[in-house]
Structures are given as structure tokens and as C-alpha cells.
Copies of this chain bind each other. A is one copy, B any other.
Amino acid sequence: MRPDLSVNLAGLELKNPVMTASGTFGYGLEFDPFFDIGQLGAIVVKGLSLKPKAGNPPPRIVETPAGMLNAIGLQNVGVDVFLNEKMPELREKKAPVIVNFFGNTEEEYVALAEKLDGVDGIAALEANISCPNVKAGGIAFGTDASVASTLIGKIRKSTSLPLIVKLSPNVTDIKVMARAVEEAGADILSMINTLTGMSIDVRTRRSNLANMTGGLSGPAIRPVAVRMVWEAAKSVNIPIIGIGGIVSAEDALEFILAGASAVQIGTASFISPTAAIDIVKGLERFLADEGISRLSDMIGALEG
């Protein structure tokens, strides 16, 4: 018998727990040459802003041990182009579409949430709160519990879609952030976004990124991500989507045992464009081998 991979995240029904991570899967359609993206649990598209954003000057990426730094600067086509040019084709796919979005002010977040609300084919919204808050002097929305709480409260009121809030790992206590965001009305947490890092070319004496610092992703950060999911899962009652360095089904299961109800695959899609679907198959195989009939039985099943 085929194991049952389906999961339910606060009403969001997914045929399997494997999603793509924002910014690593384009607008989804780029993966068409490789596999049927409709087989994934869900697709999370590149983070959208109200207006198109050009992003940072190059160099924007550099490899690091078992990871990479990126300073893309949230380049995106803007919400209008997305809705007009990408969404019609995405709607044809059988995978739920989750839209990641961000702003530099509360108003921008709210305007985006309103604009995306009720658009046919959008299954959920994911608010990226790791962005600098222009009004608060550039401190990220996602590193102060009360700032995050106010923001999420406002977004909550502007949409009837399930609201996923994506947490930044660059904080002292992820439990505090998780609880603040839960209380403010988030339906689901996703975590983690990238850790801030830096890499220097010692011959040119310059940062390897024009932006000086960037976000660290990939297998290197997995232990930090698993720990944060575990801590958050013990602190909140809403479902969690685990993200960070997942390249195999076993990696995904670390997050699920730690308390995640689903996972997102990021950097791994660069290494292997079929990574996400390979992980779906790997989960199926793991469950079959171990005689586990329902993946959902493994959520939070860590012992000890």
C-alpha cells in the first residue's frame, strides 16, 4: 500500500508536505522542463512587492562551505505583472500556489495582502518579515516581537486567505517571535529564512557580495533550522513549515519529527532542479521501507 503523504495545515490540504521555498523556484514555470510541478504539495513563488524591484547590483551570490550567500535584493516583477502574466499559467497546474510577499512599510504589506486576497488559484499568502522596516530605521520587521505583531495584526485583517508568516532566524529567541506572530493572527509559521552572513575575497579585500552581507542558505544552516523549528513547535499551537538546508527526504523528516507539518526546499533546487519532487518520492520510499502508513503520524514524533 502506498503511504499517505497528505498533510493538513490549518485547513490547507496538501497532497504531500513538500513545497518549494520562495526565491529558489522562480515563478514555478521555470521548472516545467524538468518535471510536472503539479505533483508538489505546493509552490511558493519568488517574493513579490507592490512595484517591480530591480534588486542589488552584482555580485549577488557566493558559495560557502555546504551553503551559499545571496544578496539578490528581492528582485521581482511586482505583483501586477505576476497576476497578469504568471498567474494564468500557474492556475493550470495542479499544485496550490502560495504567494510570498514583502513591503518596506506596514501599508505596503497591507496593500499587497488586499490585492492578493481572493485571487483565483492562490491558496495561501506567505509574509516575508525579514525585510528592513523603512519607518523603524531599517531594522527588520522580523527581529522585534512587537513590531512583527503589529504588522501581522494588520495583514491579518486584510486577507481571508490562510496567512503564513515566515520567520527570520536572526533573533535571540525564536520562541518569542513565534508566539507573538501566532497571537497576532498567523495561521501557519514557516521557518527559517536565511542567516545573515558575509564572505571576503582576501586578495581583492572586498566582500564577495556588492551588498557586503547576504543570506546564508543550504545544508550548512540545517542544524540551526531544525533547532528553531523544534523550539517553536513546543511554543505555539499553529502548524509550522520547516525550511533550511533540506536536500534529501531524511533531511525533510528531521524537520517533521521536530514538529513541522510540511517543508520547503530552497537551495537544493539550484543543485538539482528535480530536488523537490525527488524528495516527495524519497519520503514515499522511506515510509514504505519503515512500514509507516501515514506521514502525518511522524509530525513532532521526536522522542527523548
Q: Which residues of chain B are near A250, meaning CB under 8 Å?
A: 202
For window 161-177 of A, CB contacts with B under 8 Å fall at 170-173
Give how many copies assemble into the complex: 2
Cα–Cα, bound, A143→B254 (Å): 27
Beta-carbon contact of A197 and B213 below 8 Å: no
If A143-B172, A170-B172, A222-B64 touch, does A213 touch B227 (CB 8 Å cutoff)?
Answer: yes
If A202-B250, A202-B253 touch, does A224 touch B219 (CB 8 Å cutoff)?
Answer: no
For window 201-220 of A, CB contacts with B under 8 Å fall at 202-207, 210, 212-213, 216, 218-220
Chain A 184-212 interface 0/1 with B at a Cβ cutoff of 8 Å (1 = within): 00000000000111111011111100101
The answer, yes or no, to whether A112 is at the interface (CB within 8 Å) is no
If A198-B230, A227-B213 touch, does A67 touch B220 (CB 8 Å cutoff)?
Answer: yes
CB-based nearest B residue for A254: B200
The answer, yes or no, to whether A223 is at the interface (CB within 8 Å) is yes
The answer, yes or no, to whether A1 is at the interface (CB within 8 Å) is no
A161 to chain B, nearest CB (A): 29
A110 to chain B, nearest CB (A): 25
Q: Which of B205, B212, B286 contacts A257 (CB 8 A)?
A: B205
A282 to chain B, nearest CB (A): 11
Q: Which of B65, B195, B205, B302 contacts A303 (CB 8 A)?
A: B205
Q: Which residues of chain B are near A224, meaning CB under 8 Å?
A: 195-197, 216
Q: Which residues of chain B are near A258, meaning CB under 8 Å?
A: 198, 200
CB-based nearest B residue for A212: B304
Q: Which of B143, B200, B253 contacts A302 (CB 8 A)?
A: B200
The answer, yes or no, to whether A77 is at the interface (CB within 8 Å) is no
For window 119-137 of A, CB contacts with B under 8 Å fall at none
Q: Which residues of chain B are near A301, meaning CB under 8 Å?
A: 205
The answer, yes or no, to whether A226 is at the interface (CB within 8 Å) is yes
Cα–Cα, bound, A69→B197 (Å): 19
Beta-carbon contact of B302 and A207 below 8 Å: yes
Q: Which of B66, B170, B205, B257 contacts A220 (CB 8 A)?
A: B66
Cα–Cα, bound, A216→B210 (Å): 28
Q: Which residues of chain B are near A66, meaning CB under 8 Å?
A: 65-67, 219-220
A231 to chain B, nearest CB (A): 8
A148 to chain B, nearest CB (A): 12
Beta-carbon contact of B227 and A196 below 8 Å: yes
Return the 6 tightest CB-CB contacts between A and B, nearest first: A197-B223, A65-B219, A66-B66, A65-B66, A220-B220, A198-B227
